[in-house]
């Protein structure tokens, strides 16, 4: 079996760590599907978690964005655009772009994640785990900077969840 913080290149399983309830899910355009799949599976598993989904696109998002009603401390005030499906599941999401879309963070999803992570205290950082698609090197570098585990989701297979045994 893989170590709790790794993912086998041939295996779509991810390991969810109960002590890392602040789940930061990051994707670019190609990774939106796997991120939504993971959120859906975590919801159905009734996992005790505090997710935040951050997505980036240079093209219009493949859904109609809207202002979020979920306050996310540490996210810049003007970054209010969200994915309505996640909002309906009570999962906070924010969108980033350099294409000047209304309500979106003006920058990259990596910059937005960095701003959010900087706003957390040491105890909160110890609860963070990153799951991502796309932008592998930049996200893994961000995870190293904050000392948080990071797992890449495969975009070609469904996501299966395993719980880590403490």
Check residue 72 and give its pLDDT: 96
Contact 19, 48 (CB under 8 A): no
User: pLDDT higher for 152 or 80?
Assistant: 80
28-58 per-position pLDDT tens digit: 877 888 888 888 877 777 667 888 999 999 8
Label residues 129-165 b or e (16+ Cβ within 10 Å = b).
bbbbbbbeebbeebbeebebbbbbbbeeeebeeeeee
**CB neighbourhood size of 48 (10 A):** 8
> Per-residue pLDDT for 1 more than 50?
no
DSSP secondary structure letter of residue 25: E
> Per-residue pLDDT for 112 more than 90?
yes
Domains of the chain by range and CATH? 22-163 (3.40.50.80)
pTM for the model: 0.84
pLDDT bracket for residue 165 (50, 70, 90): very low
DSSP secondary structure letter of residue 157: S
């Amino acid at each position: 079996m893989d170590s709790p913080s790794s993912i086998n290149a041939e295996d779509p399983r991810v390991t969810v760590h109960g002590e890392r309830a602040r789940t930061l899910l990051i994707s670019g355009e190609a990774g939106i599907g796997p991120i939504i799949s993971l959120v859906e599976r975590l919801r159905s598993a009734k996992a005790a978690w505090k997710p935040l989904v951050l997505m980036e696109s240079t093209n219009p998002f493949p859904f109609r964005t809207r202002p979020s009603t979920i306050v996310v401390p540490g996210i810049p005030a003007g970054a209010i655009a969200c994915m309505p499906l996640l909002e309906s599941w009570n999962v906070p999401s924010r969108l980033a772009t350099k294409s000047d879309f209304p309500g979106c963070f003006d920058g990259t999803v990596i910059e937005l994640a960095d701003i959010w992570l900087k706003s957390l205290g040491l105890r909160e950082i110890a609860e963070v785990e990153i799951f991502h698609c796309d932008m592998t090197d930049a996200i893994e570098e961000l995870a190293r900077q904050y000392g948080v585990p990071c797992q890449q989701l495969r975009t070609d297979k469904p996501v299966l969840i395993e719980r880590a045994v403490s």
